[in-house]
Amino acid sequence: MPNTSVYRPIFSPIVALIDFIIVVGASVLAHLIRFGSSPMEAKFQALAGSTALLVIFCLTIAGIYDSWRGRQLLTLLKRYTLGLGLSIALLTAFLVFTRTAIEFSRLWLGYMLLFIWIGGVTYRSCYFWFLKNLRRSGKNLRNILVITTDTEHSKATFNKKEIALTGYNIAAYITVQEIELTIHAKNMSSELKKYQADEVWLNLPLSMGTFIKGIVYELRHQTADIRFFPDFEDTLLLNHKGSYTAGHYAIDISCTPLDGINRQLKRTEDIIIGAAIGLLITPICLMIALLIKLTDPGPILFKQRRHGLEGKPFIVYKFRTMKLHTEDEGAVTQAKKNDARVTKIGSFLRRTSLDELPQFFNVLQGRMSIVGPRPHALDHNEYYKDLVESYMWRHKVKPGITGLAQVRGHRGETDTLDKMAIRVEFDLAYIDNWSLWLDIKIILLTILKGFNNKNSY
């Protein structure tokens, strides 16, 4: 098996920075050609900087900063041209409506936009060539486990050498018959570990829908991406996101939109908002810490291991709201109404959600997000993962302080299976439909609703 260690030579923010430099460089070169001098007046500098930010914004909308893995160069350049075209349209509209177009040379603008396009296309073509050569050496690849009814057909469809150039390594082809034995032996997780599979590709006919559902169910505890490659390439079916991966149409059954630039945007959101809130709540946290210390003996913070991104454990922080007590090994008993373990100050903190404030430091550490599925106790995960379908898919993103389920009223004790199932349904809906606007909406709703929680005991 080739060396498939993930190697990312350039991250999305750096790609955006290069685009910024290309725009500024294009404006200087255009000014030199048009006016015969490189130093630009302040208004030209301002427009060049604004254009650079506008181009990056439009390219983000066009998805140009998403992962390049599995894409064709022509498709990438088409998207780049589309994004640049959108930025040109918005720039033109701005100059016309503000009546400032007359202040700038049209020839300078034309040269600048042409050089931006040439620079962006040249850079992406060179980087694409660099990635191909990198992948020829067995780097920057994701391991793929292909499940198929016809191994020879799949080998012809997913040619290993061609697939490798797009960023994937076919670790193994496994037939339906072999997978049925694996499923029967409850050994799917071991198969993924055996081949170190990052993704599972289902190259199966649509008629095997029940079998496909069975495979997805068996992989419900895993965070590996699952893609369905049906026997058609002229339309997209089913209620899942479709993608064009490695030259073939796929239905992404379990793939988070929080990848590439989206993941960077969400992390930036967490840092900016988390730092601002952290500064604001520091006096409140100090006051709460003092009250806890004065009213009940014991530590100020409650620390507990929870599952985070990709199901990896981390320590979550909360203000201690219960008296010190012991439980059976591995057991975590949820707080109930009129729970004798809850202190007087603890009852207030839980009801107002102020006990969650230390988790903003989890956010700054990068272990949590402000918005995301709430992290559950480890034993709760073990209990519910076999009872609630797709439960572990919650861990495809970082856990959050608040989430869609919480602002819709699904907070507090989950004393029935239905309550947990509904909460998970909202968590998965958040992951499937993530956007910055959705995060902002949830944060605003949390501020309006979340500080008085009647379901917290």
DSSP 151-173: HHHHHHHS-HHHHHHTTEEEEEE
Map residue 427 onto helix, strand or coil. helix
Query: Do the strands 168-175 and 142-148 form a parallel or antiparallel pair, or are they unpaired?
Result: parallel
pLDDT at 38 over 90: no
pLDDT tens per residue, range 379-420: 888 888 888 877 888 888 899 999 998 888 877 666 678 888
pLDDT for position 236: 47
Mean pLDDT score of the chain, rounded to an integer? 82
- Cα 383 to the chain's mean position, in Å? 26
- Cα 17 to the chain's mean position, in Å? 21
Q: Which of 199-203, 253-257, 267-271 has the weakest average pLDDT? A: 253-257
Q: How far apart are CA 77 and CA 376, in angstroms?
A: 43
pLDDT for position 32: 92
Averaged pLDDT for residues 213-235: 76
Q: Which two tokens stand for residue 392?
A: 């572990």
pLDDT for position 5: 45
Q: How far apart are CA 39 and CA 32, in angstroms?
A: 8
| pLDDT band, residue 27 (cuts 50/70/90) | very high
pLDDT for position 338: 59
Q: Which of 57-61, 69-73, 159-163, 243-247 has the weakest average pLDDT? A: 243-247
pLDDT at 6 over 70: no
pLDDT for position 29: 93
Between 2.60.40, 1.10.3470, 3.30.1490, 3.40.50, what CATH number should domain 142-254 receive?
3.40.50
Q: How far apart are CA 112 and CA 87, in angstroms?
A: 13
Q: How far apart are CA 110 and CA 222, in angstroms?
A: 51
Dihedral of alpha carbons 434, 437, 439, 442, sign: negative
338, 330 contact by CB (below 8 A): no
Between 236 and 244, the higher pLDDT residue: 244
| pLDDT band, residue 235 (cuts 50/70/90) | very low
pLDDT at 249 over 60: yes
Between 455 and 144, the higher pLDDT residue: 144
Averaged pLDDT for residues 216-236: 74
Dihedral of alpha carbons 427, 432, 436, 438, sign: negative
pLDDT for position 51: 93
Beta strands in 12-133 (DSSP E): none
Domain chopping of the chain, boundaries: 12-136, 142-254, 261-449
pLDDT at 3 over 60: no
| pLDDT band, residue 7 (cuts 50/70/90) | very low
pLDDT at 238 over 70: no
pLDDT at 11 over 70: no
Share of the chain above pLDDT 90, in %: 19
| pLDDT band, residue 185 (cuts 50/70/90) | low
Within 8 A by CB and 6+ apart from 182, the residues are 174, 188, 191
pLDDT at 348 over 90: no
| pLDDT band, residue 140 (cuts 50/70/90) | confident
pLDDT for position 4: 47
pLDDT for position 180: 78
Averaged pLDDT for residues 278-300: 89
Query: For the chain, how big is the Rg over CA atoms in Å?
Result: 26
Q: How far apart are CA 428 and CA 86, in angstroms?
A: 32
pLDDT at 268 over 70: yes
Averaged pLDDT for residues 90-107: 86
